[in-house]
Amino acid sequence: MPDAPGLELIAQDLNDAAAGSVLGTYHEHGQGCLIVDPERILAVLGWLRDTPGQEYRFLASLHGVDYLPAQPRFGVVYELLNMPRVERLRVRAALADSGPDELPEIDSCVPLFPAAEFQEREVYDFFGIVFSGHPDLRRILMPEDYVGWPQRRDFPVGGEPVIFTRDERDVPRWFE
């Protein structure tokens, strides 16, 4: 793992390579995380993958987070791994909520990491985050005709009231 000073060095080098790409860093539970500008996510991931001395060539996981009510609301988290050194680095793109009618959008990293295809579909399925440039962006786990983004924090939990005969008899239409 890059330690805290090593993380700052990576952040500086990244800011030199792509200006303004790193918005912040934090280091906890022994793992460093770069918070990056979603506009430059491809530049950041490409730099981390290809620069000699970094070479995080393996995308171990890609997932979405909803931080409601915090702003920016969404996060897309990339867990990178350097196999020979067994070093992990977390990259988080902070995505702002674009209102009820529009979906937040970020560049797809499938050109860099082909394994991200299904995971980006999953993030799209559950959080409604659009990955532009994805070769086949459809729902992957929910039915195709499903409406809504079920893992968002403002999505209703679900279930329905249990209607007992007794309640219905004593107080008609009690559940309304």
Q: Which pair of structure tokens corresponds to residue 110? A: 């499938």
Query: By CB under 8 A, is residue 155 in contact with other proteins?
Result: yes
From the list 30, 53, 148, 176, which residue makes contact with other proteins (rule: CB under 8 A)? 148
Query: By CB under 8 A, is residue 140 in contact with other proteins?
Result: no
Please say whether the beta carbons of 67 and 73 come within 8 A: yes
From the list 165, 167, 175, 176, which residue makes contact with other proteins (rule: CB under 8 A)? 165
In total, the chain counts a number of residues equal to: 176
CA 58 to chain centre: 17
Say how far apart CA 134 and CA 129 lie, in whole Å.
Answer: 12
Size of the site for other proteins (CB under 8 A): 17
Query: By CB under 8 A, is residue 176 in contact with other proteins?
Result: no
Query: By CB under 8 A, is residue 150 in contact with other proteins?
Result: yes
Say how far apart CA 60 and CA 30 lie, in whole Å.
Answer: 17
> In Å, how far are 71, 108, 109, 119, 138 from 113, measured between CA atoms?
28, 9, 6, 11, 18
Query: By CB under 8 A, is residue 138 in contact with other proteins?
Result: no
Q: Which pair of structure tokens corresponds to residue 15? A: 């800011």
* Region of 16-24, 78-86, 109-117, 164-172 interacting with other proteins (CB under 8 A): 164-172
* Smallest separation, CB 157 to other proteins (Å): 6
Query: By CB under 8 A, is residue 158 in contact with other proteins?
Result: yes
Query: By CB under 8 A, is residue 147 in contact with other proteins?
Result: no
Query: By CB under 8 A, is residue 58 in contact with other proteins?
Result: no
Q: What is the largest CA-CA distance in the chain?
A: 75
Q: Which pair of structure tokens corresponds to residue 71? A: 């702003």
Q: Which residues bind other proteins (CB under 8 A)?
A: 142-143, 146, 148, 150, 155, 157-160, 162, 165, 168-170, 172-173
